[in-house]
Amino acid sequence: MTRLIGIIGVGLAAIGQSACGSREDAPQGKTDEPIAITVAPVITRETTERLEAGGVVAARESAAISSRIVATITGIRAKAGDRVRAGDLLITLGAREVAAHTGQTRASAVAADSALARAQTDQSAAEAEHRLATAWQKRVAALHARNSATDQERDEAEARLAAAAARLEGAQAGIEGAKAHLSAARAAVGVAMATESYTSLRAPFDGLVTERLSDPGNLAAPGVALLRIDSHGARQVVVRVDEARAGYIRPGDRVSVLIDALERHDTEDSGVEGVVGEVARAMGADQRAFTVKVNVPPTVTARSGSFARVVFRGAPRRALVVPARAIQRHGQVSSVYVVQSGIARLRLIQVGASSPEGVEVLAGLDTGESIVTSPLPKLVDGAKVVIGPERSGSGGTP
């Protein structure tokens, strides 16, 4: 408060000296002539609180390239700043043990295929023997019915048929087992080939390598990032919003995004319009904050990790608003001229945020007061004024 009073005092002194100088320099015959001015009323508008949150620029898609097996890194073909396309080879891992395992599984598959062929041959022999035993049993049974064969011959024929049937059933079971073994061997070959493919790490999408985290000779392990890649195209800003303010933010809301590192050819200033794309439904119990992702236009080319601020709309409220052209600024002091009974009175004010509707006044004015919008350079405190019509080029309607 002491500092504010000091600033206001210095501002009043500077404004007073300027006013005295203007009065001394003015011609004596024209000091009492009223000055034609235009005015605007101090009005109250519905507005919202300004909620600002800091975050970072990030790509819509980002991937950490890591190994799915434990192996030695034999080569890294990309470095930070390289642009890559989907499918490009980025990292190669040692494949000697993996290749040996693949060869072993392929040999097992060949052996299983041979075993199936043998089982099919055994089945054919068992079927032939079963047919012969069936025919022999029928002949002996017919002869036995005419008392031309003994009971022993009949029993031997029936036993031979039963043995042939058992061998046929065993051959069929052997084929099923050989088929299952062959399927398992072929599946093992597929797994081994897939594992062998893990020794070549490729780019999942078109993008830019942003970070290289390892070198050849190191041991790669599952879950340990080796490279980081950001996708091309549009960016997003990721911010954290506390629990109390998150309730005012909805997906689809249009917000203002301020990026300090924004390149000049993208826009004349650092402010762009963004759209809230996602509001996290869950939050960390220890953080008490929500993650909000804001999509920015494709023309924004700020690098990932650049600092950004997002301005959201908060709780609705009413605020005093005046035209920006009515405000005079002297360093840190802001003032306006208030018309009272045909006299222009200098009034110090405290201003807030600016918007297309005008500048918010936090203190110093009341609703309904008339303030001068033009011509401000000709005015001094206590000057007589007369309200004239709004002139073109005065900066728009109040």
What is the reported pLDDT for 195? 87
Alpha helices, H only, the chain: 2-25, 96-145, 151-197, 243-246
What is the reported pLDDT for 264? 46
CA 175 to chain centre: 55
**Sheet order of strands, 62-66 included:** 62-66, 225-231, 207-212, 83-84
What is the reported pLDDT for 226? 94
User: Which residues pair with residue 161 across a beta bridge?
Assistant: none
User: Which residues pair with residue 47 across a beta bridge?
Assistant: 317
For 195-208, the pLDDT digits (tens) are 888 999 999 999 99
Neighbours of 251 (CB within 10 A): 11
CA 297 to chain centre: 14
Cα–Cα distance measured from residue 47 to residue 26, given in angstroms and rounded to the nearest whole number: 43
Per-residue pLDDT tens digits of the chain, which is 398 residues long: 444 444 444 454 444 444 444 444 444 334 568 888 898 888 888 777 778 888 999 888 889 999 998 999 999 999 988 999 999 999 999 988 888 888 999 999 999 999 999 999 999 999 999 999 999 999 999 988 888 888 898 899 899 999 999 999 999 999 999 999 999 999 999 998 988 889 999 999 999 998 999 999 999 999 899 999 998 878 899 998 888 788 888 899 888 898 876 644 443 444 788 999 988 876 656 667 888 999 988 888 788 888 999 988 877 788 888 888 889 988 889 999 999 988 999 999 998 877 777 888 989 899 889 899 888 888 888 898 888 765 433 333 33
Q: What are phi and psi of 240, to 5 degrees?
A: -115, 130
Neighbours of 239 (CB within 10 A): 22
What is the reported pLDDT for 117? 92
Contact 70, 222 (CB under 8 A): yes
Q: How far is CA 220 from CA 65, 93, 203, 228, 392, in A?
A: 11, 8, 17, 15, 72
What is the reported pLDDT for 229? 93
Strand 307-322 and strand 289-295: pairing? unpaired
Tokens 């003015």 sit at which residue?
Answer: 26
Cα–Cα distance measured from residue 272 to residue 108, given in angstroms and rounded to the nearest whole number: 63
Contact 167, 126 (CB under 8 A): yes
For 165-217, the pLDDT digits (tens) are 999 999 999 999 999 999 999 999 999 898 888 999 999 999 999 899 999 99
Cα–Cα distance measured from residue 73 to residue 212, given in angstroms and rounded to the nearest whole number: 13
Cα–Cα distance measured from residue 337 to residue 323, given in angstroms and rounded to the nearest whole number: 12
**Residue 339 per-residue DSSP state:** E
What is the reported pLDDT for 13? 47
Instruction: Answer left, alpha or beta for residue 368, where phi above 0 means left and psi between -120 and 50 means alpha.
Output: left
**Sheet order of strands, 219-220 included:** 200-202, 89-93, 71-76, 219-220
Tell which residue, 163, 168, 159, has the closest CA to residue 128: 168
User: Which residues pair with residue 317 across a beta bridge?
Assistant: 47
CA 49 to chain centre: 26
Cα–Cα distance measured from residue 263 to residue 274, given in angstroms and rounded to the nearest whole number: 17
Cα–Cα distance measured from residue 173 to residue 150, given in angstroms and rounded to the nearest whole number: 35
